[in-house]
């Protein structure tokens, strides 16, 4: 080390540490921060200055005892961020086995979009998944701000899960291996809190354990709704295929999910205490869905999920694989896991998301609950006395068809602008919409709908790969994806699109979507949630 401008000091000088008092506090230099060294002239009262003397170290000194300060001060580190990983601003997570990341400072979080591009964000150490999603919505200028989520992906193991809104992102990354393909993905998840709106769909009656049936006259739906509002969940039971990675074959067993943990019956479906074996404690577990489980793990079906310790790094030997018979069963188990683990916190997250949507104008101010489709009725406003409810089903159906014909007869204002070619715009206007996904295949469309939540009314439109100049509407209903062919046709020299063999015609795909967002038509449910992809 080369020291420039060295200065020789003569005379009785003494060392002074700013912010400390050596006569009252004998703490070690640097314990509460790097001290600064200053030289001051001798005191005016003429008291003799103390000289630096050698310090004798006793042999019986304990190892944990603090070291006394020597006369030579420690030189402050001019680059603490390079030499101290705990205070480095570029720290993503603490190394494995080194404990949680430091509570202060900022960290870099790298998030990927569905186009495989990434964006790096500087976030505080305590930033939650909700905070990071809000930052990404602002930076990417998303048209809508609801139902975005961070997805934790472990591609080599085929694992993925949606981070809860209150989870700290830096702490999640601290459990990852230093070298790996783990990443965070920013995408839609409409099903994050859907079980609060339609609990019966997520908790079938045959999966509710009899031990939880203390209804005293309440129906199953009332019991589930009361439990969800109180931040709890009914006990779940059912048969699952289970496999530990140390053993290759899968075996079928009856499982019970309770607040105290996950249990497996050693004798059929018996729930007697002597036949129940505790499999896992939910407090220290995370639950993941498994993709491509047939190829990776030889699962009996694709509806596989797994549980693993949340505080340890993701290792295959720590995983316990479980396989359900269908998507509804898997959704029930994974939802119950979340509710038993987080309880009231999930209900608070849901209420916070609802209040945020109201503040942003996404919901009417007076709306306190979701309006179900069963409460919608057909109305007739042709009379002078005002509207009347159409009670006859045939009359309601004919009114719906007439309304569809009026859509056909209307001329959109966007085509009345001067110097525009209606034919060209009608064939290309759908390409600018978020719900249009071009040449997506049937399998890719179904995977996209499943990834974003499998909520009734989720939809996208894509080009048909089997029929030229045709399109396909992919719609989610009751946890399944249905596909409807959209056929172009001509009438009176003008091009239209139809899904019902020409009964209802639309001048373009945008009009078709806008119509079915209000009317079901031939569809089982109205179009509600477009499958959206954003580029980061």
Closest CA to 156 of 125, 129, 177: 177
Is 486 in contact with 515 (CB distance < 8 Å)? no
pLDDT at position 312 is: 66
Burial 497-509 (b: 16+ CB within 10 A, else e): bbbeeeebbbbbb
Residue 464's Cβ-count burial label (10 Å; 0-12, 13-18, 19+) is: middle
Give the per-residue pLDDT at 384: 52
Cα 241 to the center of its chain, rounded Å: 27
Would you say residue 411 lies in a domain?
no
Residues 208 and 278 grouped into a single domain? yes
284 domain-assigned: yes
Whether residues 157 and 251 fall in one domain: no
Looking at 334, 352, 370, the residue that finishes a domain is: 352
What's the order of all strands across the beta sheet hosting 276-280? 118-124, 106-112, 183-188, 148-154, 159-162, 285-290, 304-309, 320-323, 236-244, 251-258, 261-265, 276-280
Question: Would you say 198 and 224 are in contact if contact means Cβ atoms under 8 Å apart?
Answer: no
User: Does 144 reside within a domain?
Assistant: yes
Distance CA 394, CA 392 (A): 6
Number of other CB atoms surrounding residue 51 within 10 Å: 8
Q: Both 160 and 101 in a single domain? A: yes
Q: Which of 20, 50, 76 is the last residue of a domain?
A: 76
CATH code for the domain of 248: 2.30.29.30
Of 353, 533, 366, which is closest to residue 448 (Cα–Cα)?
A: 533
* 244 in the same domain as 333: yes
Instruction: Please give the sequence-ordered ranges of beta strands (E in DSSP) within 374-457, or none if there are none.
Output: 379-380, 388-389
**Res 61: pLDDT:** 45
Q: What distance lies between CA 400 and its chain's CA centroid?
A: 38
Q: What is the 3-state secondary structure (H, E, C) of 86-126?
A: HHCCCCCCCCCCCCCCCCCCEEEEEEECCCCCEEEEEEECC
DSSP state of 168: B
Residue 405 inside a domain? The answer is no
Domain match, 467 and 440 both = yes
CB 221 within 8 A of CB 248: no
Q: Which helix (H) or strand (E) holds 491?
A: strand 480-491
Rounded CA-CA distance 404/503 in Å is 9
- Indicate if 286 and 338 belong to the same structural domain: yes
Cβ-proximal residues to 145 (8 Å cutoff; 6+ apart), any chain: 134, 137, 360, 362
Q: Is 180 within the bounds of a domain?
A: yes
Axis-axis angle for helices 344-359, 327-342 (nearest 10): 100
- Shared domain for 488 and 468, answered yes or no, is yes
Question: Residue 385 domain-assigned?
Answer: no
**Sequence-separated (6 or more) residues with CB below 8 Å from residue 532:** 144, 188, 434, 435
Using CA atoms, how far residue 505 sits from 432, 471, 502, in Å, is 21, 14, 6
Q: What tokens does 108 get?
A: 């870099």
pLDDT at 512: 94
Residue 485: phi and psi, rounded to 5, are -80, 130
Mean pLDDT by 10 residues, the chain (536 residues): 44 45 43 43 50 49 44 56 45 42 77 89 93 91 82 92 95 85 92 87 83 56 74 87 79 92 91 90 90 91 91 71 94 92 90 77 42 54 60 72 56 41 58 90 93 92 93 93 94 89 90 92 94 84
Do 274 and 285 meet the contact criterion of CB atoms below 8 Å apart? Answer: no
> Is there a domain that residue 489 lies in?
yes
C-beta of residue 524 within 8 angstroms of C-beta of residue 484: no
**Total number of domains in the chain:** 4
Same domain, 139 and 268: no
Q: Is residue 181 located within the same domain as residue 225?
A: no
Within this chain, do residues 229 and 338 fall inside the same structural domain, yes or no? Answer: yes
Radius of gyration, CA atoms only, the chain: 32
Are 214 and 339 members of one domain?
yes
Instruction: Determine the length of the chain.
Output: 536
Asked whether residue 382 is domain-assigned, the answer is no
Domain of residue 17, residue span? 9-42+70-76
Cα-Cα-Cα-Cα torsion 43, 49, 55, 56, nearest 10 degrees, comes to: -130
- Same domain assignment for residues 212 and 230: yes
Q: What is the pTM of this model?
A: 0.67
């Amino acid at each position: 080390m080369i020291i420039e401008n060295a200065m020789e000091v003569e005379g009785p000088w003494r060392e002074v540490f700013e912010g400390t008092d050596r006569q009252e506090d004998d703490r070690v230099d640097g314990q509460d921060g790097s001290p600064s060294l200053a030289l001051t002239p001798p005191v005016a009262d003429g008291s003799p200055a103390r000289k630096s003397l050698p310090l004798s170290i006793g042999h019986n000194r304990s190892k944990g005892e603090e070291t006394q300060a020597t006369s030579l001060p420690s030189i402050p580190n001019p680059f603490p961020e390079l030499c101290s990983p705990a205070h480095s601003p570029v720290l993503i997570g603490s190394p494995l086995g080194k404990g949680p990341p430091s509570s202060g400072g900022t960290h870099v979080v790298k998030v990927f979009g569905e186009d495989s591009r990434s964006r790096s964000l500087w976030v505080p150490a305590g930033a939650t998944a909700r905070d990071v999603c809000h930052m990404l919505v602002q930076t990417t200028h998303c048209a809508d701000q609801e139902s975005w989520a961070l997805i934790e992906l472990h591609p080599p193991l085929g694992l993925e899960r949606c981070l809860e809104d209150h989870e700290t992102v830096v702490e999640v990354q601290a459990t990852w291996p230093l070298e790996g393909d783990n990443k965070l993905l920013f995408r839609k998840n409409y099903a994050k809190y859907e079980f609060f709106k339609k609990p019966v769909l997520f908790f079938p009656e045959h999966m509710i354990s009899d031990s939880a049936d203390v209804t005293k006259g309440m129906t199953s739906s009332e019991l589930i709704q009361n439990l969800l509002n109180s931040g709890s969940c009914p006990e779940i039971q059912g048969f699952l295929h289970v496999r530990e990675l140390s053993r290759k074959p899968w075996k079928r067993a009856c499982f019970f999910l309770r607040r105290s943990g996950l249990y497996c019956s050693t004798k059929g479906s018996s729930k007697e205490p002597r036949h129940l074996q505790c499999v896992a404690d939910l407090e220290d577990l995370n639950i993941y869905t498994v993709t491509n489980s047939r190829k990776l793990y030889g699962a009996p079906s694709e509806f596989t999920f797994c549980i693993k310790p949340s505080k340890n790094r993701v290792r295959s030997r720590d995983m316990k694989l479980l396989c359900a018979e269908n998507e509804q069963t898997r959704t029930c188990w994974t939802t119950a896991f979340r509710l038993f683990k987080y309880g009231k916190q999930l209900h608070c997250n849901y209420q916070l998301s609802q209040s945020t949507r109201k503040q942003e104008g996404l919901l009417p101010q007076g709306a306190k609950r979701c309006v179900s489709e069963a409460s919608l009725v057909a109305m007739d406003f042709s009379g002078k006395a005002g509207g009347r409810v159409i009670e006859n089903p045939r009359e309601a159906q004919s009114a719906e068809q007439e309304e569809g014909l009026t859509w056909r007869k209307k001329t959109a204002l966007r085509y009345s602008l001067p110097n525009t070619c209606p034919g060209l715009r009608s064939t290309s206007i759908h390409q600018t919409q978020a719900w249009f996904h071009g040449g997506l295949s049937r399998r890719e469309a179904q995977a996209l709908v499943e990834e974003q939540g499998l909520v009734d009314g989720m939809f996208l439109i894509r080009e048909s790969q089997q029929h030229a100049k045709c399109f396909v509407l992919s719609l989610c209903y009751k946890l399944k994806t249905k596909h409807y062919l959209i056929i172009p046709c001509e009438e009176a020299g003008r091009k239209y699109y139809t899904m019902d063999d020409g009964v209802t015609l639309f001048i373009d795909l945008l009009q078709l979507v806008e119509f079915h967002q209000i009317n079901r038509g031939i569809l089982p449910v109205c179009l509600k949630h477009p499958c959206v992809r954003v580029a980061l």
